[in-house]
Structure 1
Amino acid sequence: MFAVLKTGGKQYRVQTGDVLRVERIAAQAGETVQFNDVLMVGGDAPVVGAPLVEGAAVQAEVIDQIKADKVIHFVKRRRKHSSQRTKGHRQKLTLVRVTDILPSGADATGVKAAIGTGSVSGFAIEAAAPKAAKPAKAEATSGAAPANLLSEARDGAGDDLKKLTGVGPKMVEKLNEAGVFHFDQIAAWTAEDVAYMEEQLGARGKVDGWVAEAADMAQDKE
């Protein structure tokens, strides 16, 4: 009997007694692990999974945690000599020996599943540290709107708010929608009013500067 199993993104055709080098799994030497992703079980009555064979598994004994040989990396340089160098990478692998192929009943064996995402250091399992929870966003406190907001410009004509630093046509439109049409309105705002308007306009750090500018412009207008 043989089986086709999948682990570490690769497929292996195995029989009892086969020794495999698979992508590193979280297990120590001497442990028995069970590969539950079986794509096919062959023999007198072959079964092909769709995509996996339900209840089938391959059990194996972990022989050792090893590393593959260093990869030789060839680099081709145009109009220069090509070079050969050793790439500084050795793939982490697990050496296992297949001990049994189970065509069914794998879910009742109680054998540890072969998990390839664990981190093994010095042949000891290191649990991955849980990700720190993202701090919750502080809820914005809107406060009260300035008391001097208007429904429309006085005398049908507002001041040229584009004279304020960083204020363009879009921001003027936002100011007007919020009920701001004149320099003297902005000049009269308190710190609480500034905080409220910065939040409403999406202009953090700007409104406070407008207050001083608007005060000068309102005085010049008089």
Structure 2
Amino acid sequence: MYAVFQSCGKQYKAIVGQVIQLEKLNFKIGDSIQFKDVLMIAQDKKIKIGTPFVLNSTVKGEIINHGRDKKIKIIKFKRRKHYRKQQGHRQWFTKVKITDINIIEDFKVGT
């Protein structure tokens, strides 16, 4: 069973027990988090797609870690114009372990 949910404007595929790296969330390490914006749930060959979200379904997770990604370099350069600019950026992230995928209503094919 897996689910596709939305967090911070991005979509993620979640499987129970998987660790996902999301954008920075303002929670403490060890806190439980619940994502209600579930776009799709698949179990075996049954698929439930929301319009836009699947009603009464949640993805639960636990905050494991906060950190920063590797540095990326942004370089702007114009030849023969004596122009060169260099900048770096490290994005904050939160690692979440998916603990449960809940479906409150019955899981029916095609509805």
Question: When the two structures are superposed, what TM-score results if normalisation uses the length of structure 1?
Answer: 0.43
Opposite residue 69 of structure 2, the aligned amino acid is A
C-alpha displacement of 1:67: 1.6
Q: Does 1:20 align with 2:16?
A: no
Opposite residue 4 of structure 1, the aligned amino acid is V
Q: Deviations over 1:122-175 (max 9, x none)?
A: xxxxxxxxxxxxxxxxxxxxxxxxxxxxxxxxxxxxxxxxxxxxxxxxxxxxxx
Question: More relative contact order in 1 or in 2 (CA 8 Å, sep 6+)?
Answer: 2
| In structure 1, C-alpha distance between the alignment counterparts of 2:24 and 2:74, rounded to whole Å | 23
C-alpha displacement of 1:74: 2.2
> What corresponds to 1:71 in structure 2?
72
Opposite residue 37 of structure 2, the aligned amino acid is D
| Aligned residues of 1:60 and 1:100 also touching (Cα < 8 A) | yes
Hey, which bits of structure 1, 4+ residues long, moved more than 4 A?
A: 80-84
Cα gap change, 1:77 to 1:25, in 2 (>3 Å): same
Question: When the two structures are superposed, what TM-score results if normalisation uses the length of structure 2?
Answer: 0.82
Q: Deviations over 1:56-104 (max 9, x none)?
A: 11111100111222221122213268868441x3222111111111122
Cα gap change, 1:72 to 1:32, in 2 (>3 Å): same
| In structure 1, C-alpha distance between the alignment counterparts of 2:72 and 2:84, rounded to whole Å | 14
More strand by share: 2
Aligned runs of 1:25-64 on 2, under 5 Å? 25-44=25-44, 45-64=46-65
More helix by share: 1
Larger of the two Rg values belongs to structure = 1
> What corresponds to 1:11 in structure 2?
11
SS of match in other structure, 1:28: coil
Uncovered stretches (5+) of structure 2, i.e. residues with no partner = 106-111
Opposite residue 20 of structure 2, the aligned amino acid is L
Cα gap change, 1:32 to 1:23, in 2 (>3 Å): same
| In structure 2, C-alpha distance between the alignment counterparts of 1:31 and 1:41, rounded to whole Å | 24
| In structure 2, C-alpha distance between the alignment counterparts of 1:98 and 1:81, rounded to whole Å | 51
SS of match in other structure, 2:59: strand
SS of match in other structure, 2:78: coil
Work out the number of aligned pairs and report it: 104
| In structure 2, C-alpha distance between the alignment counterparts of 1:55 and 1:98, rounded to whole Å | 18
| In structure 2, C-alpha distance between the alignment counterparts of 1:47 and 1:75, rounded to whole Å | 46
CA RMSD of aligned residues (A): 2.0
> What corresponds to 2:103 in structure 1?
103
| In structure 1, C-alpha distance between the alignment counterparts of 2:42 and 2:82, rounded to whole Å | 51
| In structure 1, C-alpha distance between the alignment counterparts of 2:97 and 2:85, rounded to whole Å | 35
| In structure 2, C-alpha distance between the alignment counterparts of 1:55 and 1:82, rounded to whole Å | 55
Uncovered stretches (5+) of structure 1, i.e. residues with no partner = 106-222
